[in-house]
Amino acid sequence: MEKPVPPLRDYTQIVDFPTEITMTPIGVVRSPYTERHGTPRQPVVPDGKHLDEPATVVLDPARIKPRALNDLAGFDRVWLITVFHLNPHAATTVKPPRGDRRRGVLATRSPHHPNRIGLSAVRLERVEGLTLHLRGVDLIDGTPVLGVKPYVPYCDAFPDSAAGWVDEVSAEPTESDKRG
């Protein structure tokens, strides 16, 4: 006997819109970068050279059980969802390292966003217990991790997408890109 399908419900009317959201880190980034001026701005710089410094995410055993990492080792990349905890100031416009003018903060990948949430696609080398061994990390040592999700190329990569103002600036790396 088939299980009956419940009737459709409009869940948007059941739960109030949250005006505040509280999250607890599930782990911490351990990287060689200890200050913002030496930390890479992107995991891949414009000339295509991958950053290769090893780093880890150490997950909190009080929040994450080892079984939560089952099957993650088969992925080449993971998304890290983080908090820019050392960046207390939001901005409406910022001057990106590429280009010659200020841009709206929401049109950039700056850490100066209102909620200080970071998103990085990093290379996963291996999983050891509750430690993820990574490369291509663009995060400061001690950065809190809110989540880890597998990078799935068929739904995470859109190579033909327009990149707005980024498409308009020179493809040449700036001095800032070269420094990291």
Average pLDDT over the chain reads 87
pLDDT at 56 over 90: yes
Rounded mean pLDDT, 72-97: 92
In a domain, 28, yes or no: yes
Per-residue pLDDT of 92-116, as tens digits, reads 999 988 888 999 999 988 888 899 9
Range of the domain at 83: 22-40+50-137+146-154
In a domain, 169, yes or no: no
pLDDT of residue 40: 72
What's the total number of domains in the chain? Answer: 1
- For the whole model, what pTM was predicted? 0.82
In a domain, 106, yes or no: yes
Q: What percent of the chain has pLDDT over 70?
A: 87
In a domain, 165, yes or no: no
Rounded mean pLDDT, 51-73: 94
- Extended beta strands in the chain, E state: 27-30, 54-59, 77-83, 93-94, 103-104, 117-128, 131-135, 144-150
In a domain, 33, yes or no: yes
**CATH number, position 127:** 2.40.30.70
